[in-house]
């Protein structure tokens, strides 16, 4: 009698890597669609990121920022960051509500260099933040709260790939 595994949206089941092991889940490239920014529309509270962009960046679809950090620094509170395909390395922190959305988990990877670099969200100020449709590779996702000594603190939503 085997164990069934249900993969999250945007992922497909992969065969076990060795006898007796459970199957795994991997990002599904077919779930990516054709839009470079996963269907996120241009808007007043939206910043776009494409690490491959080579021009002058304004955060628009036509002139996206090249790093997620640039988008965080320039995004109005409660805004959305739409991330195009690519691998993005670095420390990300924010203390205001942000919706961080990748094109799809198969094409957008956030990674860090070393254990000191993490994704950190200050929950007291960033309640309602969301991270979706991307893959964290080696990254540590931490929600922090000055008022709570428990992890995750109250108000920390789950990570969605």
* Tens digit of each residue's pLDDT (9 = 90 or more) over 86-114: 999 888 888 888 999 999 988 998 887 76
| Residue, of 19 and 82, whose pLDDT is higher | 82
Note the pTM of the prediction, 2 decimals.
0.78
Among 39, 40, 70, 38, which residue's Cα sits nearest to residue 53? 70
pLDDT in tens, 45-78: 999 999 999 999 999 999 999 999 999 999 988 8
Q: What residues contact residue 13 under an 8 Å CB cut-off, 6+ apart? A: 5, 7, 23, 24, 25
Instruction: Write down the pLDDT at residue 159.
Output: 44
Instruction: Write down the pLDDT at residue 157.
Output: 46
For tokens 């996702």, what's the residue?
A: 141
| SS3 category, 31 | helix
């Amino acid at each position: 009698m085997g164990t069934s595994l249900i993969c999250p949206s945007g992922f497909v089941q992969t065969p076990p890597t060795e006898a007796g092991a459970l199957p795994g889940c991997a990002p599904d490239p077919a779930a990516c669609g054709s839009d470079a920014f996963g269907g996120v529309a241009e808007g007043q509270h939206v910043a776009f990121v494409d690490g491959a962009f080579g021009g002058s960046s304004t955060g628009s679809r036509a002139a996206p920022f090249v790093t997620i950090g640039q988008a965080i620094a320039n995004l109005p509170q409660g805004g959305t960051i739409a991330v195009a395909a690519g691998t993005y390395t670095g420390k990300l922190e924010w203390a205001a509500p942000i919706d961080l959305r990748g094109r799809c988990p198969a094409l957008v990877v956030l990674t860090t260099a070393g254990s000191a670099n993490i994704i950190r969200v200050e929950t007291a100020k960033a309640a309602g933040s969301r991270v979706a449709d991307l893959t964290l590779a080696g990254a540590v996702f931490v929600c922090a709260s000055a008022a709570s000594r428990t992890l995750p603190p109250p108000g920390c939503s789950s990570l969605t790939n």
